[in-house]
Amino acid sequence: MTTNNSPLRLGGVTEVADELGVTRQQVTKLRQRPGFPAPIAELSAGAIWDLDMIRRWRGSGLRRGAGRPEAAAGPQSVGRRFELGNKLGEGGFASVYWARDLASAGDRARTAVKILREADPDIVARFERELRLMSEFNHVNLMPVIASGNDPDVGMWYAMPLALGSLADEVGNITEPEEIAKVMRAVCRGLAHIHSEGIFHRDLKPENVLRSRGGEWAIADFGLARVVDESSVLTETYDVMGSHYYMAPEQMRDSKHVDARADVYSAGKIMQALIIKGLPVNDDIPAGPLRGVIQRAISPDRERRYESATHLLDAIEAVFRPVPPGFWETAEDRGQRLFPRLEAGYIADPTAFDELEQWANEIDLNDYDDMGEFAWAFCALPVESVERWWEGNPTTFTRVFQAFVRRLSGNFGFTTCDRLANFAERAARVTQDLTILKEAICGLAELGMHHNRWHVRDVAVTMLQRIRDTDEALAALEGLREAEPGTAAWTVGDSVVRTLHPVLRAGLADLFTDKPSF
C-alpha cells in the first residue's frame, strides 16, 4: 500500500500484465471492460498506468473471471476509477452510491457517486449546472467534486467525498443552543460563500447539510441552485420541488425571483427543526436564546428577515457573547436596571434594547412573577424603540405583546397601571397592526376594571374613539369580547358608545346585559 510519501509506480502493458498475473493479450481484452482503470497517459510507446490503481482494481469486485458475465443489478463502476457498492439513497432525479476510488488509498478512497437517472433535457441541464457549480467550490463548508464524467453505460455522474452522515440524522440529537450555533456557523459561512459568487441554493434542508470526514458541516446538493444574472432556459417545473417545510414562501410563489433571503429562511427553519427535534411544520418556537433569531429568519415577509447569511451569523454570535463572570441578578433587578435606560424617549442605549430583546427570547412567558418584572421594562420602550422592534421582528414583538397583555389581568400599583396603559396605546398606534390593537383593547379593559383605574379607562376610550376603519372596529370589538365578562360595560358607558364606529356600537349592544339602545 502506498502512502503520500511513496513514489508513484508507473508501467506499461507488460508491467500491468505482471501485476495482474495475466498475459499481454489478456490485458488487451481487459482494457475493453468498462471498469478497467484508464491509463494516466498515452505515449508514442504505448499506454502508461498507475500500477497501484491496477493493484486495487485487482482486489476489487470489478475484476471478473473469463466468461463470467456482469451482474445486471446495477452499474458496477464509473469513470474507470470508481468501484460502486450499495446504493445510499435516491433523490428526485439521481441515485447515490457508495464507491471506492481506485486512484486513492485509505480513508480518501471512500467516496459517494451521484448518477443521473433521468434523460429529460431539462433535468440533464440542471445536473450539468449542479456539477459545474460544485466543481468550482473551494470552501470547507461546501461539498467538493472529486471527478465527473458521462459514461456510455450509466450516463452522467460525479463523485464527492463520502460523508459521515447528514444533519437530518442529528435532528433530535443536536439540541443544545451552543451545539446548534456551531452547526449554523458552518451553514452560514457556506451560504455566505456561494452568495458572494451570486449563487442561491434554494433547497437547503437538513438532508443537504453533510458532515465531512474531517468533521466539518458542508452544504451539498445544488440541483435547484440559481445563479444571479445567468440567463436560463430551464423551466420552473422542478424549482419548487424542495421540501416545503424549509422553503421560503416567496419561492413557492415565484421561484425565479428569489434572493439570499430565501436561503436565510431555510437556515432559520433548520435551526427550528433542531430546537423542536422534528419537522418545522409551523412557526412555533419554544423559549430559548435562539428564539428571536429564528423568528426573524423565518419571517413570511422577506423584507423583515436578515439581509444575508452574514447578518444571520452575526445575530447568532451576538446571542452567545460571554456574560461577565460572576454576574447574576433577579428578574426584578434586571427590570429595574433596564427601565431607565429604555425610557429615554429614543434608542439612547442600544445595548439595553438588545438585552431586552434577548430577555424576551429567554423568559418563560407564562411565569407570572417574571413576566410582571419584564412588563415593567417592556413598557418603558419609547416610540422609536417600538418601531425598531416591530420593523426588525414583528413576530417576536407580537408574541411578547400578547404575553404582556395576559399579564395585565394581574396586580400592579396605580402608577405602574398608568405606564402599562400608555405603552399598550403606544404599541397599537406605532404598529398599526390589527392583532396588536385587539390585544391592547382586551388588556386595557381588564387592567382598568381590576384596578378601578380611570386613567386606564380613558386610554382605552380614546383608542376606541379614534377608530374610523371597519377592520379596526372589528379587531377592537373582538378584543372586548375576549376580555373578562363585565369589562366592556365598565370600559364603555352609554355616552361613550354613541361616539363610536357603527360596527362597535352594534357589537357592544350584544355584550351588555341590559341591551341598551344606541
Per-residue burial over 373-382, b if 16 or more Cβ lie within 10 Å, else e, is bbbbbbbbbb
Specify the pLDDT at position 357. 87
C-alpha to C-alpha distance for 476 and 443, rounded to whole angstroms:
11
Q: Are residues 283 and 183 in the same domain?
A: yes
Q: Show the cell assigned to 203.
A: 433547497
Joined together, the cell numbers standing for residue 15 give: 508491467
Cα 223 off chain centre by: 18
Check whether residue 382 and residue 273 sit in a common domain.
no
3 lies in some domain: no
**308 plus 348 within the same structural domain:** no
The CATH number assigned to the domain holding 92 equals 3.30.200.20
Residue 483 belongs to a domain: yes
Q: Are residues 306 and 355 in the same domain?
A: no
Please name which of 283, 286, 280 lies closest in space to residue 296, comparing C-alpha atoms: 283
Q: Which of 220, 206, 225 is nearest to 276 (CA)?
A: 206
Q: Of 268, 295, 319, which residue constitutes the final position of a domain?
A: 319
Same domain, 107 and 153: yes
Long-range contacts of 346-353 (CB under 8 A, 24+ apart): 346/382, 346/384, 346/385, 347/382, 347/384, 347/385, 347/388, 353/381, 353/385, 353/388, 353/389
* Residue 312 sits in the same domain as residue 388: no
On whether residue 4 sits in a domain, the answer given is no
Burial class (CB in 10 A: 0-12, 13-18, 19+), 289: middle
Q: What is the pLDDT of residue 466?
A: 94
Residue 64: inside a domain: no
Per-residue pLDDT of the chain (518 residues; tens, 9 = 90+): 344 455 678 888 888 888 877 777 778 878 877 668 888 877 777 788 888 888 777 766 555 443 333 434 555 778 888 888 888 877 667 888 888 888 887 777 788 888 877 666 777 777 777 777 777 778 899 988 888 888 877 778 888 888 888 999 999 999 999 999 999 999 999 999 989 888 888 889 999 999 988 889 999 887 666 654 444 444 444 444 447 889 999 988 887 778 999 999 999 999 999 999 999 999 888 878 888 789 889 999 888 888 999 999 988 887 776 555 566 678 888 887 777 667 654 454 577 788 888 889 888 888 888 888 899 889 988 888 899 899 888 988 999 999 999 998 888 888 889 999 999 999 999 999 999 999 999 999 999 998 898 999 999 999 999 999 999 999 999 999 998 888 888 898 778 888 999 999 999 887 775 444 44
Cβ neighbours of 27 (radius 10 Å): 22
> Which amino acids are annotated as binding site for ATP, given as ranges?
114
Q: What is the pLDDT of residue 315?
A: 83
Number of domains in the chain: 4
Cβ-based neighbours of 282, under 8 Å, separated by 6 or more: none
> Between helices 350-362 and 368-378, what is the axis angle to 10°?
160
Q: CA angle, 402 as apex, 270 and 354 as ends, to 5°? A: 60
Q: Give the integer Cα–Cα distance in Å for 354 and 360.
A: 10
Q: Is 133 a member of any domain?
A: no
- What is the pLDDT, as a whole number, of residue 67? 33
Domain of 244, CATH number, reads 1.10.510.10
The confidence score (pLDDT) of residue 518 equals: 45
| Same domain, residue pair 367 and 446 | yes
Q: How far does CA 60 lie from the centroid of its chain?
A: 42
Query: Do 364 and 233 fall within a single domain?
Result: no
Tell whether 70 is covered by a domain: no
pLDDT at 326: 60
User: Is the separation of the CB atoms in 273 and 347 below 8 Å?
Assistant: no
Q: Which grid cell is 192? A: 455566505
- The reply to whether 410 and 460 lie within a common domain is yes
Establish how many alpha carbons lie within 13 A of residue 68's alpha carbon, considering only the half-sphere containing its beta carbon.
8
Q: How much is the pLDDT for 403? A: 93
Binding residues: 114
pLDDT on residue 325: 57
| Residues sharing a CB contact under 8 Å with residue 321, sequence separation 6 or more, in sequence order | none
Q: The domain containing residue 403 runs over which residues? A: 333-511
Do 487 and 380 lie in a common domain?
yes
The per-residue pLDDT for 337 is: 77
List CB contacts of 207: < 8 A, sequence separation 6 or more: 166, 167, 168, 221, 243
Q: DSSP strand E in 168-240: where?
A: 199-200, 209-211, 217-219, 226-227
Rounded to two decimals, the pTM is 0.58
514 CB-near residues (< 8 Å, 6+ apart): none
In a domain? residue 272: yes
Verify that 257 and 172 share a domain, yes or no: yes
Last residue of a domain, one of 292, 319, 346: 319
Query: In this structure, are 501 and 396 located in the same domain?
Result: yes
Q: Report yes or no on 66 lying in a domain.
A: no
pLDDT at residue 232 in the model: 46
Q: Which amino acid is at 237?
A: T
- With a CB cutoff of 8 Å and minimum separation 6, the contacts of 182 are none
